[in-house]
């Protein structure tokens, strides 16, 4: 049978389903005696004959009445991947993509304290787009070469980095005897061939959560070790940051941090981390955190004054100044304000900037920087069987000058009223690359 004939049969079957649906909806109330014609009618979908039965598995034969062919809607719908339910109260036939779709959607009415932000000089934004052969992953734009495709197909490729020579570095985990997991770093050449691998950990669980690369500093990872022995041994399951030599994959140094996430900055000659440098936290008072500068050997150089609330990002500007982004919360736990604080290269505080939106910072060549913030606009109605909260979001990009003045701001919301994030990737020349998940 030709491809065209298959398509026709599929359409014909769907048309019959629609005909039956209309018959059910428009039928008059009451009983009638009618005469129908049984003529050995067969139903084929994509050239394959299907068996026709009711909900109890009893065979049902199609028939013709007044020139219209009637077939069992349940049998055909289920063959097409749809579920069918009879709504007796409202006398409706419900056809859905799956049985889960019969569950009503819930609107939680969650208050996000959303305040729209006006664009500022948005016409000054220079926008580019990812090419079809590019992909944005782990904060890096990769070319989808055969080597890239080969590497990302691996199950242990959790985090992917690339060095200045085009070599790939993956940071993931591997299971050891007894079910414990260790951190695994593997280095590949540009064609996806393995160069070297190294496992890190001890006799318990060791996990990596984030990784960054700098040609002069090496590979820097953050994670948690539950091992009292091994590469990152400690007694309190303390999160750590570790510096790894790119060539040998050996640990150069590691140090404790407050939380294992991506809030650390790696430069040519330093790593900036977040941790408590004061008295041990008693669990009652406000936790005071410091941003600490470590040198190439992991030694402490300087620290900031104690900072409050949530530290979102640390970045080094092109002239050596350090930017720290903080988010402040109200008594309901909602983030309501942000501060961008600037320090000189010796740790002296220079200025504070109050920010209406705040997030990751990308330095620009002119001494300024671009921040990108993903903001929750509202909740999206969701099925009752989903426990997470779905948000509709918008992405706000803001360009600051060297003096901390807003040069432009633009809001992106191409994915409207649905789950999805507008990806805005700032470039050092002050332009942005945009994409949507």
Q: What residues are paired with 173 via a beta bridge?
A: 183
DSSP 45-78: ETTEE---B-TTS-B---EEETTEEE--HHHHHH
What was the pLDDT predicted at 281? 67
Q: What is the mean pLDDT of residues 63-79?
A: 81
* pLDDT above 70 (res 397): yes
pLDDT tier at 287, thresholds 50, 70, 90: confident
d(CA 409, CA 123): 9
Higher local confidence (pLDDT), 250 or 76:
250
Q: What is the mean pLDDT of residues 300-327?
A: 92
* pLDDT above 80 (res 57): no
CB atoms within 10 A of CB 246: 21
Q: What is the mean pLDDT of residues 9-16?
A: 34
Fold entry, domain 133-308 = Lipocalin (2.40.128)
d(CA 93, CA 95): 7
What was the pLDDT predicted at 3? 34
What was the pLDDT predicted at 17? 38
What was the pLDDT predicted at 19? 37
Q: What is the pTM of this model?
A: 0.74
pLDDT tier at 12, thresholds 50, 70, 90: very low
pLDDT tier at 436, thresholds 50, 70, 90: low
3-state secondary structure of 407: strand
Contact 139, 159 (CB under 8 A): no
pLDDT tier at 197, thresholds 50, 70, 90: very high
What was the pLDDT predicted at 51? 83
Region(s) of the chain under CATH 2.40.128.630: 133-308
* pLDDT above 60 (res 435): yes
| CB proximity list for 119: less than 8 A, separation 6 or greater | 408, 409, 410, 411
d(CA 139, CA 296): 23
Higher local confidence (pLDDT), 103 or 146:
146
Q: What is the mean pLDDT of residues 265-294?
A: 86
* pLDDT above 50 (res 258): yes
- Taking CA atoms, 356 is separated from 118, 289, 398, in Å, by 11, 23, 10
Q: What is the mean pLDDT of the chain?
A: 84
d(CA 188, CA 148): 10
Rg (CA), the chain: 30
Backbone angles phi, psi at 183, to 5 degrees: -80, 140
Question: Minimum mean pLDDT among 34-38, 244-248, 323-327: which range?
Answer: 34-38
Higher local confidence (pLDDT), 179 or 232:
232
3-state secondary structure of 108: coil
Q: How does pLDDT run across 135-181, given as a tens digit for each residue? A: 999 899 999 999 999 999 988 788 999 999 999 999 999 988 778 89
The DSSP letter of residue 150 is: H
d(CA 258, CA 280): 12
Q: What is the mean pLDDT of residues 199-205?
A: 92
| CB proximity list for 411: less than 8 A, separation 6 or greater | 117, 119, 394, 395, 396
Question: Minimum mean pLDDT among 168-182, 278-292, 316-330: which range?
Answer: 278-292
Higher local confidence (pLDDT), 389 or 6:
389
User: How far is Cα of residue 224 from the mean position of the Cα atoms in its chain?
Assistant: 21
What was the pLDDT predicted at 54? 78
Q: What is the mean pLDDT of residues 187-205?
A: 95
Contact 359, 373 (CB under 8 A): yes
Report the length, in residues, of the chain.
437
Q: What is the mean pLDDT of residues 251-260?
A: 93
* pLDDT above 90 (res 195): yes
pLDDT tier at 97, thresholds 50, 70, 90: low
User: How far is Cα of residue 212 from the mean position of the Cα atoms in its chain?
Assistant: 18
Q: What percent of the chain has pLDDT over 70?
A: 84
Q: How does pLDDT run across 340-382, given as a tens digit for each residue? A: 999 999 999 999 999 888 889 999 999 999 999 998 888 888 7
């Amino acid at each position: 049978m030709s491809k065209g004939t298959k398509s026709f049969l599929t359409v014909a079957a769907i048309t019959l389903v629609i005909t039956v649906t209309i018959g059910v909806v428009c039928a008059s109330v009451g009983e009638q005696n009618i005469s129908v014609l049984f003529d050995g009618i067969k139903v084929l979908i994509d050239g394959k004959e299907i068996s026709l039965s009711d909900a109890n598995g009893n065979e049902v034969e199609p028939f013709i009445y007044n020139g219209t062919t009637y077939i069992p809607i349940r049998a055909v719908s289920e063959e097409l991947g749809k579920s069918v339910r009879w709504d007796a109260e409202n006398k409706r036939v419900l056809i859905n993509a799956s049985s889960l779709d019969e569950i009503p959607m819930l609107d939680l009415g969650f208050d996000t304290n959303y305040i729209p932000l006006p664009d500022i000089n948005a016409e000054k934004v220079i926008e580019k787009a990812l090419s079809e052969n590019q992909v944005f992953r782990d904060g890096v734009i990769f070319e989808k070469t055969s080597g890239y495709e080969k590497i990302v197909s691996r199950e242990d490729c959790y985090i992917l980095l690339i060095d200045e020579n085009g070599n790939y570095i993956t940071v993931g985990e591997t299971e050891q005897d007894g079910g414990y997991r260790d951190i695994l770093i593997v280095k590949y050449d540009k064609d996806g061939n393995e160069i070297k691998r190294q496992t890190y950990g001890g006799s318990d669980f060791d996990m990596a959560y984030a990784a960054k690369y700098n040609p002069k500093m090496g590979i820097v990872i953050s994670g948690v070790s539950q091992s009292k022995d091994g590469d990152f041994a400690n007694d309190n399951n303390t999160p750590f940051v570790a510096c790894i030599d790119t060539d040998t994959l050996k640990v150069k140094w590691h140090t404790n941090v407050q939380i294992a996430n991506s809030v650390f900055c790696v430069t040519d000659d330093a790593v900036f981390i977040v941790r408590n440098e004061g008295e041990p936290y008693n669990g009652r008072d406000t936790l005071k955190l410091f941003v600490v500068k470590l040198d190439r050997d992991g030694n402490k150089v300087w620290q900031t004054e104690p900072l409050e609330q949530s530290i979102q990002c640390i970045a080094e500007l092109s002239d050596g100044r350090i930017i720290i982004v903080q988010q402040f919360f109200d008594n309901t736990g909602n983030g309501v304000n942000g501060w961008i604080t600037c320090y000189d290269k010796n740790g002296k505080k220079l200025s504070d900037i109050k920010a209406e939106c705040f997030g990751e910072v990308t330095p620009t060549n002119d001494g300024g920087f671009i921040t990108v913030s993903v903001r929750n606009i509202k909740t999206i109605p969701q099925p009752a069987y989903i426990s997470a909260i779905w948000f509709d979001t918008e992405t706000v990009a803001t360009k600051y000058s060297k003096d901390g003045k807003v040069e432009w701001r633009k809001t992106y919301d191409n994915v409207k009223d649905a789950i999805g994030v507008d990806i805005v990737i700032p470039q050092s020349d002050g332009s942005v690359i945009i994409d949507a998940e």
